[in-house]
Structure 1
Amino acid sequence: MKFNSDEKEFSVTSENLFWKRREFIRSLVGGAASFGLGYAFYAGADSKNNLQGKALQDQLSSEYVITHHNNFYEFSTSKQKPAEMAKDFKPGDDWKIEIGGEVENGGSYSLGDIKSWVNQEERIYRLRCVEAWSMVVPWYGFQLSQLIERVKPTAKAKFVEFKTLHDSKVFPGQKRGTFGMHTLPWPYSEGITMAEAMNPLAFIATGVYGKNLPGQNGAPVRLVLPWKYGFKSIKSIVSIRFTTRQPESTWNKRAPNEYGFYANVNPKVDHPRWSQATERRISDESFFGVKKIPTKMFNGYGDYVSELYKGIDLTRYF
């Protein structure tokens, strides 16, 4: 898929016009897609091979909400504590990422190295948590496929595995007993298919709201898969490995009856303990999300990802 460059600008609103310093949505040029200020991006397609920006009337979540309502159990199981606990976690471009497995150009690369290979851009995506809350986030980063094309996976590569930094000095939540008698199998791991990884929506975020990614949001680099539940968007990545077999996914391993490997947003498949038919949009007024809205299949991005799952029963392989 390629981006369409004929889209017109839209008149939009946002959090104080995103500090009154950006224009949204700009014409799409080449492969670079702009934010739609105050709107979720990627909503309509004119053909299989073209993506177009389309305003969806999804109000941009505030910077405070995005940075103070976080699931990052490496710090804490509290939603608000990670922001305080991560205040001194400010890794930079010297952050190392190991790239290996079925790939020609594997090795240990700094984030600065990787940034020099790609075109960074700004995008807005909806974020839908499996816990049935949601927000709309302005990310900064690059399309995952750009990195993949650079490192050149072999024909044997069928999946991509990601891992988070494992260091209890940095992440106190990784210490034994985080979940009472049990703990998650650290380091946090996630996996997606190669087809999912090459989809134009798959994104690597290095920033949010025009700033470097804060610690509580997964500094300095995280995955963003807007059509999947948020736990698939792994944070603080230190390893990317191309594999022939489906890699283990932390939550799928911990509770496979509750958290599927694919984890696509699906209003018709409830979590065993709650409905997924609606979601609570988090706001400054209430971190519990007082505004309930209908959940969209694939979080509203079905035009771009539904073909990935043709022939797969998504009620069984959820």
Structure 2
Amino acid sequence: MLIKRSPNGIELPFSSEITPRELYESRRTFIKQVAAGAIGSAALLEMANREAFAQGAGLAKLPAKLNPAYSALDKQTPYKDATTYNNFYEFGTDKSDPAANAGTLKTRPWTVQIEGEVKKPMTLDIDALLKLAPMEERIYRLRCVEGWSMVIPWVGYSFSEIIKKVEPTGNAKYVEFITLNDRKQMPGVGSRVLEWPYTEGLRIDEANHPLALLTFGMYGEVLPNQNGAPVRMVLPWKYGFKSAKSIVKIRFVKDMPRTSWNISAPREYGFYSNVNPDVDHPRWSQASERRIGEDGFLARKRKTLMFNGYSDVAPLYAGMDLKKFY
């Protein structure tokens, strides 16, 4: 974990840990308005939620039974590291930007459309989606393409539960995930870094694998905004960018969907993007990694494992040249 220090060696807090001046000053006005009865209960709740987010207060609990069959024995990444060092370009390109900027994301109301080559298309609000199948906790390693990794206890259920509900037709060969595209809530949307909205995709057999987790929480709580609230995918055998965040639409399609990073830099980001120490990124080796919260900021101390150590997905790619289909 990178720790900022002043010239005299004193540790400095992250910017996300400092209450913004405008928030501090607005509290005085807010208190006066509440006292005068000028703010209703809905606005009061919204202000309380925003202030809790800014202060890093605990989120709503999302209890789930641990599934030991899908739980890595590695030491878990500290919550603070997992929620302040993120890739979520809708809120900025620096690793600290999502934690600093994602307080603008509103996760209620929220609906997810499921459509395309299915017999039973549906639109579900987030609460119905939460109740669609029993929740379980899984401790997954997550490996990012830049060479860093974390170990996080996620809460959700296998995406196969969605597949069963919507009953794909024989034409459904792929699943496309489309994320929220709202400049008012996401200051990074509109930048030229990527084509928006952010889209990702899987082959349907990949999406149907038990490891593919439709995720609503982490560390026993609902997802923080900066980690993809209120619903995201977690695919532990693939590089992190394949796990779409803040999903609003899921489409079952016949043809391989275009995906954001593959459109932006096809030589660097293939459609499959399985963790593979034998296939280097064009600008760096993928043979090793650094574990956030344990290894030094630049040190790579761990050997990267094929499929990030999740060898039970190997049959999905039997007979494929994984250097060609990277």
The TM-score with structure 1 as length reference comes to 0.79
Quick check: 1:75–1:173 contact (8 Å CA) kept in 2?
A: yes
SS at match of 1:172: coil
Quick check: 2:212–2:235 contact (8 Å CA) kept in 1?
A: yes
SS at match of 1:192: strand
Identity %: 52
After superposition, give the CA deviation of every residue in 1:170-209 in whole Å (9 maximum; x if it has no partner).
111012xx3xxx3311000000001001100000110111
Provide the aligned C-alpha RMSD in A.
1.8
Structure number with bigger Rg:
2
Q: Residues 239, 285 of structure 1: CA spacing in aligned structure 2 closer, same or farther, 3 A cutoff?
A: same
Structure 2 counterpart of 1:85, one-letter code: N
1:293 matched to 2:302? The reply is yes
User: Which residue among 298, 304, 322 is the counterpart of 1:314?
Assistant: 322
Q: Residues 140, 171 of structure 1: CA spacing in aligned structure 2 closer, same or farther, 3 A cutoff?
A: same
User: Which residue among 305, 309, 312 is the counterpart of 2:313?
Assistant: 305
1:236 matched to 2:246? The reply is yes
CA distance, structure 1, for counterparts of residue 130 and residue 292 of structure 2: 31
Larger helix share, 1 or 2: 2
Please list, as runs of the form range in 1=range in 2, the aligned pairs for 1:218-233 lying within 5 A after superposition. 218-233=228-243
Instruction: Compute the displacement of 1:284 (Å).
Output: 6.6
Corresponding residue of 2:168: 153
Corresponding residue of 2:208: 198
Which deviates more from structure 2 when the two are superposed, residues 289-298 or residues 239-248? 289-298
Deviating above 4 A after TM superposition, structure 1's stretches of 4 or more consecutive aligned residues are none
1:186 matched to 2:186? The reply is no
CA distance, structure 1, for counterparts of residue 237 and residue 298 of structure 2: 20
Corresponding residue of 1:64: 80
Structure 2 counterpart of 1:82, one-letter code: P
Instruction: Compute the displacement of 1:290 (Å).
Output: 3.7
1:260 matched to 2:292? The reply is no
Instruction: Compute the displacement of 1:35 (Å).
Output: 5.4
CA distance, structure 2, for counterparts of residue 238 and residue 118 of structure 1: 19
CA distance, structure 2, for counterparts of residue 291 and residue 210 of structure 1: 29
Aligned length: 264
In structure 2, runs of 5+ residues without a counterpart are 1-63
Structure 2 counterpart of 1:215, one-letter code: N
Quick check: 1:282–1:289 contact (8 Å CA) kept in 2?
A: no
Quick check: 1:98–1:109 contact (8 Å CA) kept in 2?
A: yes
SS at match of 2:89: coil
CA distance, structure 2, for counterparts of residue 121 and residue 225 of structure 1: 15
1:117 matched to 2:149? The reply is no
